A = this chain, B = another copy of it.
Protein backbone atom coordinates (compact mmCIF):
# COMPACT_ATOMS: atom_id res chain seq x y z
CA UNK A 1 0.00 0.00 0.00
CA UNK A 2 1.21 3.47 -0.79
CA UNK A 3 0.44 6.46 1.32
CA UNK A 4 -2.17 8.87 0.07
CA UNK A 5 -0.69 11.90 -1.63
CA UNK A 6 -2.33 15.10 -2.67
CA UNK A 7 -2.64 15.19 -6.47
CA UNK A 8 -3.01 18.57 -8.12
CA UNK A 9 -6.21 20.40 -7.18
CA UNK A 10 -7.76 17.36 -5.59
CA UNK A 11 -7.94 17.73 -1.82
CA UNK A 12 -10.15 14.70 -1.22
CA UNK A 13 -8.58 11.79 0.57
CA UNK A 14 -9.16 8.25 -0.69
CA UNK A 15 -12.57 7.25 0.65
CA UNK A 16 -14.03 3.95 -0.52
CA UNK A 17 -17.37 4.71 1.16
CA UNK A 18 -19.21 2.58 3.66
CA UNK A 19 -18.02 -0.99 3.99
CA UNK A 20 -18.72 -3.91 6.27
CA UNK A 21 -16.40 -6.59 7.53
CA UNK A 22 -17.06 -9.72 9.53
CA UNK A 23 -14.99 -9.99 12.68
CA UNK A 24 -16.30 -13.48 13.47
CA UNK A 25 -17.96 -14.71 16.65
CA UNK A 26 -17.80 -12.53 19.74
CA UNK A 27 -18.10 -13.14 23.46
CA UNK A 28 -19.21 -10.03 25.34
CA UNK A 29 -17.44 -9.65 28.67
CA UNK A 30 -20.61 -9.76 30.77
CA UNK A 31 -21.89 -12.96 29.16
CA UNK A 32 -23.81 -14.13 26.14
CA UNK A 33 -22.49 -15.06 22.72
CA UNK A 34 -22.71 -13.55 19.28
CA UNK A 35 -21.98 -16.21 16.62
CA UNK A 36 -21.27 -13.58 13.99
CA UNK A 37 -20.41 -9.91 14.30
CA UNK A 38 -19.80 -7.52 11.48
CA UNK A 39 -18.80 -3.89 11.74
CA UNK A 40 -19.61 -1.19 9.26
CA UNK A 41 -16.87 1.37 8.78
CA UNK A 42 -15.50 4.10 6.58
CA UNK A 43 -11.90 5.06 5.90
CA UNK A 44 -10.18 8.13 4.56
CA UNK A 45 -6.60 8.33 3.36
CA UNK A 46 -4.33 5.31 3.05
CA UNK A 47 -2.46 3.00 5.33
CA UNK A 48 1.27 3.41 4.74
CA UNK A 49 4.08 0.81 4.74
CA UNK A 50 4.55 1.05 8.50
CA UNK A 51 0.86 0.17 9.02
CA UNK A 52 1.08 2.49 12.00
CA UNK A 53 -0.31 5.69 10.52
CA UNK A 54 -3.89 4.77 11.41
CA UNK A 55 -6.20 7.03 13.41
CA UNK A 56 -9.39 5.62 14.84
CA UNK A 57 -12.26 8.07 15.29
CA UNK A 58 -15.03 6.91 17.61
CA UNK A 59 -18.54 8.26 17.21
CA UNK A 60 -20.92 9.55 19.87
CA UNK A 61 -24.14 7.89 21.02
CA UNK A 62 -26.31 8.34 17.96
CA UNK A 63 -23.50 8.88 15.50
CA UNK A 64 -22.25 6.50 12.85
CA UNK A 65 -19.21 5.73 10.71
CA UNK A 66 -19.62 8.87 8.61
CA UNK A 67 -17.11 11.01 10.50
CA UNK A 68 -15.94 12.98 7.46
CA UNK A 69 -17.44 14.17 4.23
CA UNK A 70 -19.13 17.19 2.70
CA UNK A 71 -22.87 17.69 3.16
CA UNK A 72 -24.95 15.47 0.92
CA UNK A 73 -28.49 14.15 0.71
CA UNK A 74 -28.14 11.67 3.53
CA UNK A 75 -25.94 13.84 5.74
CA UNK A 76 -27.17 17.38 5.36
CA UNK A 77 -24.45 18.62 7.71
CA UNK A 78 -21.76 16.37 6.29
CA UNK A 79 -19.61 14.04 8.37
CA UNK A 80 -20.08 14.61 12.10
CA UNK A 81 -16.40 15.50 12.63
CA UNK A 82 -15.66 16.77 9.15
CA UNK A 83 -14.00 20.03 10.28
CA UNK A 84 -11.49 17.88 12.16
CA UNK A 85 -10.71 15.40 9.39
CA UNK A 86 -9.14 16.02 5.98
CA UNK A 87 -5.99 17.24 4.29
CA UNK A 88 -4.32 19.80 6.55
CA UNK A 89 -6.87 19.31 9.31
CA UNK A 90 -6.00 18.02 12.78
CA UNK A 91 -6.72 14.46 11.69
CA UNK A 92 -4.74 14.91 8.50
CA UNK A 93 -5.80 12.47 5.81
CA UNK A 94 -2.59 13.26 3.91
CA UNK A 95 -0.72 11.64 6.78
CA UNK A 96 -3.18 9.28 8.35
CA UNK A 97 -5.34 6.34 7.44
CA UNK A 98 -8.51 7.36 9.24
CA UNK A 99 -11.08 4.78 10.29
CA UNK A 100 -14.47 5.24 11.89
CA UNK A 101 -16.67 2.25 12.57
CA UNK A 102 -20.22 2.02 13.81
CA UNK A 103 -20.02 0.55 17.31
CA UNK A 104 -21.01 -2.95 18.32
CA UNK A 105 -24.63 -2.70 19.47
CA UNK A 106 -25.30 0.19 17.09
CA UNK A 107 -27.86 0.41 14.34
CA UNK A 108 -25.96 1.94 11.42
CA UNK A 109 -24.63 -1.20 9.84
CA UNK A 110 -22.80 -2.95 12.67
CA UNK A 111 -24.24 -5.92 14.53
CA UNK A 112 -26.72 -4.77 17.14
CA UNK A 113 -30.11 -5.62 18.62
CA UNK A 114 -31.85 -4.97 15.29
CA UNK A 115 -29.62 -7.52 13.55
CA UNK A 116 -30.83 -10.99 12.74
CA UNK A 117 -29.76 -13.68 15.17
CA UNK A 118 -28.42 -16.35 12.79
CA UNK A 119 -29.53 -19.03 15.21
CA UNK A 120 -33.20 -18.04 15.16
CA UNK A 121 -33.59 -16.01 11.99
CA UNK A 122 -35.25 -13.25 14.04
CA UNK A 123 -33.81 -9.95 15.22
CA UNK A 124 -32.00 -10.22 18.53
CA UNK A 125 -34.03 -7.42 20.10
CA UNK A 126 -33.54 -7.69 23.89
CA UNK A 127 -31.93 -11.12 23.49
CA UNK A 128 -28.86 -9.22 22.33
CA UNK A 129 -26.29 -9.50 25.10
CA UNK A 130 -25.41 -6.46 27.18
CA UNK A 131 -22.30 -5.02 25.58
CA UNK A 132 -19.77 -2.77 27.25
CA UNK A 133 -17.38 -0.06 26.18
CA UNK A 134 -14.65 -2.67 26.44
CA UNK A 135 -16.59 -4.96 24.10
CA UNK A 136 -16.90 -2.13 21.60
CA UNK A 137 -13.16 -1.54 21.77
CA UNK A 138 -12.34 -5.23 21.44
CA UNK A 139 -14.58 -5.48 18.40
CA UNK A 140 -12.89 -2.44 16.84
CA UNK A 141 -9.51 -4.03 17.53
CA UNK A 142 -10.48 -7.05 15.50
CA UNK A 143 -11.59 -4.80 12.68
CA UNK A 144 -8.28 -2.95 12.73
CA UNK A 145 -6.37 -6.25 12.73
CA UNK A 146 -8.27 -7.31 9.64
CA UNK A 147 -7.57 -3.97 7.98
CA UNK A 148 -3.86 -4.54 8.51
CA UNK A 149 -3.38 -1.83 11.13
CA UNK A 150 -0.40 -2.68 13.34
CA UNK A 151 -0.69 0.26 15.71
CA UNK A 152 -2.86 3.32 16.09
CA UNK A 153 -1.14 6.67 15.76
CA UNK A 154 -4.17 7.94 17.64
CA UNK A 155 -7.67 7.22 18.78
CA UNK A 156 -10.06 10.09 19.39
CA UNK A 157 -13.68 10.51 20.33
CA UNK A 158 -16.11 12.45 22.48
CA UNK A 159 -18.69 11.31 25.02
CA UNK A 160 -19.23 7.55 24.61
CA UNK A 161 -16.54 7.88 21.94
CA UNK A 162 -14.26 9.41 24.56
CA UNK A 163 -14.97 6.51 26.90
CA UNK A 164 -13.88 4.17 24.12
CA UNK A 165 -10.76 6.23 23.39
CA UNK A 166 -9.81 5.90 27.07
CA UNK A 167 -10.59 2.20 27.15
CA UNK A 168 -8.45 1.70 24.06
CA UNK A 169 -5.47 3.13 25.92
CA UNK A 170 -6.14 0.89 28.93
CA UNK A 171 -7.12 -2.32 27.13
CA UNK A 172 -4.52 -2.24 24.35
CA UNK A 173 -1.67 -0.19 25.79
CA UNK A 174 0.89 -1.21 23.17
CA UNK A 175 -1.44 -0.62 20.27
CA UNK A 176 -2.18 3.06 20.92
CA UNK A 177 0.29 5.90 20.61
CA UNK A 178 -2.10 8.75 21.49
CA UNK A 179 -5.62 8.92 22.85
CA UNK A 180 -7.82 12.00 22.82
CA UNK A 181 -10.55 11.55 25.41
CA UNK A 182 -13.05 14.35 24.88
CA UNK A 183 -15.98 15.12 27.20
CA UNK A 184 -15.61 11.80 28.97
CA UNK A 185 -13.84 10.26 31.92
CA UNK A 186 -13.47 6.95 33.72
CA UNK A 187 -17.07 6.68 34.93
CA UNK A 188 -20.29 8.62 34.38
CA UNK A 189 -21.75 10.32 37.45
CA UNK A 190 -25.18 9.77 39.00
CA UNK A 191 -26.77 12.76 37.30
CA UNK A 192 -25.85 11.28 33.94
CA UNK A 193 -27.01 7.84 35.05
CA UNK A 194 -30.34 9.25 36.12
CA UNK A 195 -30.97 11.13 32.89
CA UNK A 196 -29.98 8.05 30.94
CA UNK A 197 -32.47 5.91 32.84
CA UNK A 198 -35.28 8.42 32.25
CA UNK A 199 -34.74 7.89 28.54
CA UNK A 200 -34.71 4.12 28.82
CA UNK A 201 -37.85 4.10 30.96
CA UNK A 202 -39.61 6.22 28.34
CA UNK A 203 -38.73 3.68 25.64
CA UNK A 204 -39.61 0.64 27.73
CA UNK A 205 -42.88 2.17 28.95
CA UNK A 206 -44.00 2.70 25.37
CA UNK A 207 -46.38 -0.19 24.58
CA UNK A 208 -45.11 -0.14 21.00
CA UNK A 209 -41.76 -1.23 22.36
CA UNK A 210 -43.29 -4.68 22.92
CA UNK A 211 -40.44 -5.80 25.16
CA UNK A 212 -38.13 -5.02 22.29
CA UNK A 213 -39.84 -7.22 19.71
CA UNK A 214 -41.27 -4.41 17.62
CA UNK A 215 -39.36 -5.27 14.44
CA UNK A 216 -41.71 -6.17 11.61
CA UNK A 217 -44.83 -5.43 13.66
CA UNK A 218 -45.51 -2.10 11.99
CA UNK A 219 -45.26 -0.41 15.38
CA UNK A 220 -42.17 1.15 16.88
CA UNK A 221 -41.63 2.92 20.22
CA UNK A 222 -41.21 6.26 18.47
CA UNK A 223 -42.92 8.20 21.25
CA UNK A 224 -40.64 6.70 23.88
CA UNK A 225 -37.48 7.13 21.84
CA UNK A 226 -38.39 10.76 21.13
CA UNK A 227 -38.72 11.40 24.88
CA UNK A 228 -35.41 9.63 25.49
CA UNK A 229 -33.84 11.92 22.93
CA UNK A 230 -35.33 14.98 24.61
CA UNK A 231 -33.79 13.91 27.91
CA UNK A 232 -30.50 13.25 26.16
CA UNK A 233 -30.49 16.66 24.50
CA UNK A 234 -30.92 18.34 27.88
CA UNK A 235 -27.68 16.74 29.04
CA UNK A 236 -25.83 17.82 25.89
CA UNK A 237 -26.49 21.52 26.41
CA UNK A 238 -25.85 24.01 29.17
CA UNK A 239 -28.19 26.35 31.00
CA UNK A 240 -26.39 29.53 29.79
CA UNK A 241 -26.28 28.13 26.27
CA UNK A 242 -30.00 27.44 26.36
CA UNK A 243 -30.69 30.92 27.69
CA UNK A 244 -28.84 32.37 24.74
CA UNK A 245 -30.28 30.05 22.12
CA UNK A 246 -33.86 29.66 23.33
CA UNK A 247 -34.50 31.81 26.37
CA UNK A 248 -38.22 31.85 27.06
CA UNK A 249 -39.08 32.72 23.48
CA UNK A 250 -42.25 31.20 22.05
CA UNK A 251 -41.95 28.44 19.47
CA UNK A 252 -41.89 29.43 15.83
CA UNK A 253 -42.02 26.02 14.17
CA UNK A 254 -45.31 24.16 13.65
CA UNK A 255 -46.40 22.06 16.62
CA UNK A 256 -45.70 18.33 16.50
CA UNK A 257 -48.08 17.67 19.39
CA UNK A 258 -51.37 19.22 20.46
CA UNK A 259 -50.82 22.59 22.10
CA UNK A 260 -51.21 22.86 25.85
CA UNK A 261 -50.94 26.37 27.16
CA UNK A 262 -48.67 27.51 24.34
CA UNK A 263 -45.22 26.32 23.48
CA UNK A 264 -41.72 27.59 24.15
CA UNK A 265 -38.95 27.41 21.57
CA UNK A 266 -36.94 25.05 23.79
CA UNK A 267 -39.89 22.64 23.82
CA UNK A 268 -40.31 22.84 20.08
CA UNK A 269 -36.59 22.26 19.65
CA UNK A 270 -36.73 19.17 21.83
CA UNK A 271 -39.79 17.86 19.98
CA UNK A 272 -38.03 18.20 16.65
CA UNK A 273 -34.85 16.62 17.96
CA UNK A 274 -36.94 13.70 19.17
CA UNK A 275 -38.68 13.28 15.86
CA UNK A 276 -35.42 13.54 14.00
CA UNK A 277 -33.89 10.70 15.99
CA UNK A 278 -36.75 8.23 15.54
CA UNK A 279 -36.27 8.54 11.80
CA UNK A 280 -32.66 7.46 11.98
CA UNK A 281 -32.11 5.39 15.10
CA UNK A 282 -33.22 2.10 16.59
CA UNK A 283 -34.79 2.27 20.04
CA UNK A 284 -33.22 -0.97 21.25
CA UNK A 285 -29.79 0.26 20.20
CA UNK A 286 -30.50 3.37 22.24
CA UNK A 287 -31.13 1.17 25.27
CA UNK A 288 -27.94 -0.85 24.79
CA UNK A 289 -25.62 2.04 24.00
CA UNK A 290 -26.80 4.22 26.89
CA UNK A 291 -26.45 1.20 29.16
CA UNK A 292 -22.88 0.67 28.00
CA UNK A 293 -22.17 4.32 28.69
CA UNK A 294 -23.58 4.02 32.21
CA UNK A 295 -21.78 0.78 32.99
CA UNK A 296 -18.39 2.00 31.84
CA UNK A 297 -15.94 2.07 34.68
CA UNK A 298 -12.30 2.29 33.67
CA UNK A 299 -11.39 0.33 36.79
CA UNK A 300 -13.71 -2.60 36.07
CA UNK A 301 -11.70 -5.82 36.21
CA UNK A 302 -8.78 -4.07 37.90
CA UNK A 303 -8.06 -3.50 41.56
CA UNK A 304 -8.68 0.23 41.16
CA UNK A 305 -8.91 3.08 38.71
CA UNK A 306 -5.22 3.65 39.45
CA UNK A 307 -4.31 0.16 38.36
CA UNK A 308 -6.27 0.62 35.15
CA UNK A 309 -4.64 3.98 34.43
CA UNK A 310 -1.19 2.60 35.21
CA UNK A 311 -1.51 0.27 32.22
CA UNK A 312 -1.61 3.18 29.81
CA UNK A 313 1.41 3.61 27.51
CA UNK A 314 -0.23 6.10 25.18
CA UNK A 315 -0.02 9.83 25.51
CA UNK A 316 -3.53 10.75 26.70
CA UNK A 317 -5.18 14.12 26.38
CA UNK A 318 -8.35 14.57 28.36
CA UNK A 319 -10.47 17.43 27.08
CA UNK A 320 -13.16 18.86 29.34
CA UNK A 321 -15.83 21.36 28.39
CA UNK A 322 -16.44 24.20 30.82
CA UNK A 323 -20.24 24.00 30.62
CA UNK A 324 -20.63 20.21 30.27
CA UNK A 325 -22.99 18.73 32.83
CA UNK A 326 -23.01 15.16 31.54
CA UNK A 327 -19.27 14.83 32.07
CA UNK A 328 -18.48 17.96 34.12
CA UNK A 329 -15.11 19.52 33.34
CA UNK A 330 -14.07 19.05 36.97
CA UNK A 331 -14.61 15.31 36.65
CA UNK A 332 -12.73 15.09 33.36
CA UNK A 333 -9.86 17.03 34.90
CA UNK A 334 -9.91 14.70 37.91
CA UNK A 335 -9.60 11.70 35.61
CA UNK A 336 -6.60 13.28 33.92
CA UNK A 337 -4.98 13.90 37.28
CA UNK A 338 -5.69 10.40 38.46
CA UNK A 339 -4.21 8.95 35.29
CA UNK A 340 -1.13 11.13 35.72
CA UNK A 341 -0.70 10.09 39.32
CA UNK A 342 -0.93 6.48 38.20
CA UNK A 343 2.03 7.12 35.94
CA UNK A 344 0.29 7.72 32.63
CA UNK A 345 1.45 10.43 30.26
CA UNK A 346 -1.82 12.32 30.71
CA UNK A 347 -2.69 15.97 30.19
CA UNK A 348 -5.81 18.04 30.46
CA UNK A 349 -7.18 20.80 28.29
CA UNK A 350 -10.46 22.63 28.53
CA UNK A 351 -12.84 24.07 25.98
CA UNK A 352 -14.39 27.32 27.18
CA UNK A 353 -17.87 27.29 25.77
CA UNK A 354 -21.54 27.62 26.58
CA UNK A 355 -22.33 24.78 24.18
CA UNK A 356 -22.23 22.18 26.93
CA UNK A 357 -21.39 18.56 26.26
CA UNK A 358 -22.02 19.04 22.55
CA UNK A 359 -19.09 21.45 22.23
CA UNK A 360 -16.96 18.70 20.74
CA UNK A 361 -19.36 18.73 17.78
CA UNK A 362 -19.57 22.51 17.56
CA UNK A 363 -16.62 24.50 18.86
CA UNK A 364 -14.38 23.67 15.93
CA UNK A 365 -11.82 26.42 16.48
CA UNK A 366 -11.09 25.31 20.02
CA UNK A 367 -11.28 21.64 19.10
CA UNK A 368 -8.75 22.24 16.32
CA UNK A 369 -6.43 24.33 18.43
CA UNK A 370 -6.44 21.70 21.17
CA UNK A 371 -6.37 18.49 19.13
CA UNK A 372 -4.23 19.79 16.25
CA UNK A 373 -1.01 20.21 18.26
CA UNK A 374 -1.70 17.06 20.27
CA UNK A 375 -2.10 14.88 17.20
CA UNK A 376 0.73 16.40 15.17
CA UNK A 377 3.30 16.54 17.98
A residues near B, CB below 8 A? 30, 126, 130, 187-191, 193-195, 197-198, 200-202, 204-207, 223-224, 226-227, 230-231, 233-234, 237, 239, 242-243, 245-248, 257, 260-262, 264-267, 270-271, 274, 287, 291, 294-295, 297, 325, 328
Contact = CB atoms under 8 A, between A and B. Distances in A.
A206 B200 CA distance: 14
Count of this chain's copies in the oligomeric assembly: 2
Contacts of A194: 230, 233-234, 242, 266-267, 270
A275 B325 CA distance: 27
A242 B198 contact: no
A248 B295 CA distance: 9
A274 B257 CA distance: 24
B191 A234 contact: yes
Given A227-B202, A227-B227, A261-B30, A267 B325 contact: no
Contacts of A224: 205
A198 B231 contact: yes
A294 B264 CA distance: 9
Contacts of A200: 260
A325 B257 contact: no
A248 B193 contact: yes
Given A197-B230, A204-B257, A205-B224, A242 B189 contact: yes
A39 B366 CA distance: 56
Ranked 9 nearest A-B pairs via Cβ? A190-B242, A205-B223, A130-B261, A190-B266, A261-B291, A197-B267, A191-B239, A190-B246, A194-B266
B242 A201 contact: no
A198 B201 contact: no
24 contacts: A187-B248, A188-B248, A189-B239, A190-B247, A190-B264, A193-B264, A193-B266, A193-B267, A194-B266, A194-B267, A194-B270, A195-B234, A198-B198, A198-B227, A198-B234, A201-B257, A202-B202, A202-B205, A205-B223, A205-B224, A239-B325, A260-B287, A261-B291, A261-B294
Nearest to A266: B190
Contacts of A195: 234
Contacts of A246: 190
Given A130-B260, A190-B247, 14 more contacts: A126-B260, A130-B261, A188-B248, A194-B270, A195-B234, A197-B230, A197-B266, A197-B267, A198-B234, A201-B274, A202-B227, A204-B257, A205-B223, A248-B297
Contacts of A30: 261
A291 B294 CA distance: 31
Nearest to A197: B267
A274 B264 CA distance: 26
A253 to B, nearest CB: 14
